[in-house]
Structure 1
């Protein structure tokens, strides 16, 4: 995958009101709404998001995300950014997390 996918994902997230980009503690970049992480990118090919158990299970069941690459039994999911469809899934899941955070007043 080229940098276009990462650029499209990054540009989309940064277009949302209040979202900022920061270095991630394990490498890559993370996206935050205020001080709460929405998700983070590792390189150009892997996007991770922390979700509730029910949301995690739903996205995995729908085939839009995979269990986390390092901690498969956690609330984290991984989205491998291989195709444009994968990027669309990453945006969709990140938007759901963003909307949830906004509704909580974060």
Structure 2
């Protein structure tokens, strides 16, 4: 049976552009194009950065806690206390962060965009 972190890692790494590496304070860090999505310390704690507005919404709604070391920052912590039951909530937070960081595709330009059919008479 796989550990919680292995299950979470498998799901997150299935998303385009996501890579994983060792986190400097232990655990696994997930990145998109050199930007950190967040990290997980073992099977017990996930930390993710968000803009303050979103961070406050997550904390006020009870979906996450202020960061365990930097509570006034935009970072949130999610304590994995219920084991496998917590996996969907952790994935949801990482998905929110993924949506903020994933590359945006450029809109396709139509051929001859902005040009009208003009006939030129000599």
Q: CA deviation at 1:20?
A: 0.7
Distance 1:16 1:72, change over 3 A: same
Distance, in Å, in 1 between the alignment partners of 2:9 and 2:99 is 17
What residue number does 2:119 align with? Answer: none
Larger Rg: 2
Task: Say which structure is richer in helix.
Answer: 1
Q: Where has structure 1 moved over 4 Å in runs of 4 or more?
A: none
When the two chains are superposed, the root-mean-square deviation of aligned CA atoms in Å is 1.8
Greater RCO, 1 or 2 (C-alpha within 8 Å, sep 6+)? 1
In structure 2, stretches of 5+ residues that fail to align are 106-122
The answer on whether the counterparts of 2:17 and 2:102 sit within 8 Å (CA) in structure 1 is: no
The answer on whether the counterparts of 1:53 and 1:75 sit within 8 Å (CA) in structure 2 is: yes
TM-score where L is the length of structure 2: 0.77
What residue number does 2:17 align with? Answer: 18
Q: CA deviation at 1:86?
A: 2.5
What residue number does 1:95 align with? Answer: 95
> How many residue pairs align between the two structures?
104
TM-score where L is the length of structure 1: 0.88
The answer on whether the counterparts of 1:45 and 1:81 sit within 8 Å (CA) in structure 2 is: yes
What residue number does 2:60 align with? Answer: 61
